[in-house]
Amino acid sequence: MSIDLKTIKHISKLSRISVDEKRAEKLAGDLNSIFDFIEKLNELKTDKVEPLTSVAETTLKLRPDEVKSKNIREQIVKNSPQDNKDYFVVPKVIE
C-alpha cells in the first residue's frame, strides 16, 4: 500500500490541518514507513475474534442527571482566545 500526495491532501482536509507542498511530501514518506510497519497485522487471521473496545469489564454506572456546577460562565469564557465577557467570538460565518 502506498499513501500518495492526493491522499495526504485529503487527510489534511479531514484533520483540519493545513499542509504545504513540502510538508505533504515529508508526511507521505513518514506515513508510508509507519503503515509498512502496521501492515504486519495482516499476517493474523481475525475473522472469528471479537474486537476489544474496553479493557475494563464493567458496565457503566448510572447517575442522576443533576446540575453540579452553577454560575460558571465567567470560568468557561475565561480562556477564550478573543476577549468577550459573554460569548466565544469567531470569524464571521454568515455572509
88 contributes a contact to another protein by CB under 8 A = yes
Q: State the minimum distance, in angstroms, from the CB of residue 51 to another protein.
A: 3
What binding mask, one character per residue, do residues 23-62 give for another protein by CB under 8 A, x or -?
Answer: ----x--xx-xx--xxxxxxxx-x--xxxxxxxx-x-xx-
Nearest-approach distance from CB 20 to another protein, in angstroms: 9
Answer for the pair 31, 3: CB distance below 8 angstroms, yes or no.
yes
Tell me: does residue 14 bind another protein (CB under 8 A).
Answer: yes
Q: 84 CB contacts (<8 Å, ≥6 apart)?
A: 77
Exposure string for 59-94, b = 16+ CB within 10 A, e = fewer: eeeeeeeeeeeeeeeeeeeeeeeeeeeeeeeeeeee
Residue 76 to residue 38: CA distance in whole angstroms: 41
Minimum Å distance from CB 33 to another protein?
6
Q: Which residues bind another protein (CB under 8 A)?
A: 3, 7-8, 10-12, 14-19, 27, 30-31, 33-34, 37-44, 46, 49-56, 58, 60-61, 63, 72, 75-76, 78-82, 88, 90-93
